[in-house]
Structure 1
Amino acid sequence: MYSKEQASQLRQTFWTTFGQYIAPQPSAEGLKINWVNYKTGIKYLNFRMQAENRSASIGIEISHPDAGIQELFFEQFKELRLVLADALNEDWEWVLHTNDEYGKTISRIYTQINGVSIFNRDDWPTLISFFKPRIIALDEFWDTAKYSFDALK
């Protein structure tokens, strides 16, 4: 078992390692990008990668405080569901109005893997192989889809 400080250090080291590994990859627009802290350009709309003790997930998170507006974002993604699935080459889970770890209502479109741990360095290649193609695919999707969300900014 790790202390809070050790766990925090391991998380930071993993994300730094992942960031360095993926840094040479340009965005869909051919630009340098901070993949770990991906910016969609829309408040309350994030591409989130999470790695924990027993699982890892990547997804689109809608966290607008107004549940109705959150649902509008979610519906707009549903309109683009086939485009998203085509970019990802896989189907993801779609959850309207769930709670995050802080009890805040969010909506998520995500996928996850189980049986991996950010605290086990032997799992890091698996985690990187899980995150890298999916965040790149999300970026490619977002490069064309972001204009569909202009009215919701």
Structure 2
Amino acid sequence: MYSKDQASSIKQSFWTAFGQYMALQPSAEGQRINWVNYKTGIKHLNFKMDAGQKSAAIAIEIVHPDPSIQELIFEQFKEFKNILNGYFEEEWEWELHVSNEYGKTVTRIVKHLYGVNIFKQEDWPDLITFFKVRMVALDQFWDDAQYSFDVFK
């Protein structure tokens, strides 16, 4: 078991390592990008990565305080579902109005990786690969689709 400070330090080390690894990967537009804190340009719409002791997840997360706006954005993503699946080459889970870790209602499109632990450095290559492939695909998708979401700016 790790203390809160130790756990925080290990997580910070992982995300720093991931950021350094990804620094060499240009965006779909050929630009340098902060992959760990990806900016969609749409308020309340995030591409979120998370890793813990039993799993990791990457998500398109809609956190608008108005659930009806969340649903509108979600419906817009549904219009792009086949295109998204083409970029990902896999199915993701589509979750309308679920509670996040803070008890807030969010909507998300998420993919999980089970059986990995951020506190085991030997799992880091699997975590990095999981996140890299999907973040690059998300970026490629967003480069093509972002203008369809401008109404939500």
Structure 1 residue runs of 4 or more that deviate by more than 6 Å after TM superposition: none
The C-alpha deviation readout for 1:29-61, integer Å capped at 9, x for no partner, is 000000000000001000000001100000100
Residue 26 of structure 2 corresponds to residue 26 of structure 1: yes
Q: How many residues align?
A: 153
Q: 1:139 and 1:13 mapped to 2: Cα distance?
A: 24
* TM, length-normalised to structure 1: 0.99
The alpha carbon displacement at 1:3 in A equals: 0.3
Percent identity between matched residues is 63
The alpha carbon displacement at 1:128 in A equals: 0.5
Q: 2:91 and 2:114 mapped to 1: Cα distance?
A: 17
The match for 1:75 is: 75
Q: How does 1:74-93 map to 2 (within 5 A)?
A: 74-93=74-93
Residue 66 of structure 2 corresponds to residue 66 of structure 1: yes
Residue 122 of structure 2 corresponds to residue 122 of structure 1: yes
Q: 2:25 and 2:106 mapped to 1: Cα distance?
A: 30
Structure 2, unaligned stretches of length 5 or more? none
The C-alpha deviation readout for 1:88-109, integer Å capped at 9, x for no partner, is 1111000000000000000010
Q: 2:66 and 2:143 mapped to 1: Cα distance?
A: 26
The alpha carbon displacement at 1:22 in A equals: 0.8
The match for 1:45 is: 45
The alpha carbon displacement at 1:76 in A equals: 0.1
The alpha carbon displacement at 1:84 in A equals: 0.6
- RMSD of aligned residue pairs (Cα, Å): 0.5
Q: Per the alignment, in what secondary structure is the counterpart of residue 42 of structure 1?
A: coil
The alpha carbon displacement at 1:134 in A equals: 0.3
Opposite residue 49 of structure 1, the aligned amino acid is M
Q: Per the alignment, in what secondary structure is the counterpart of residue 110 of structure 2?
A: strand
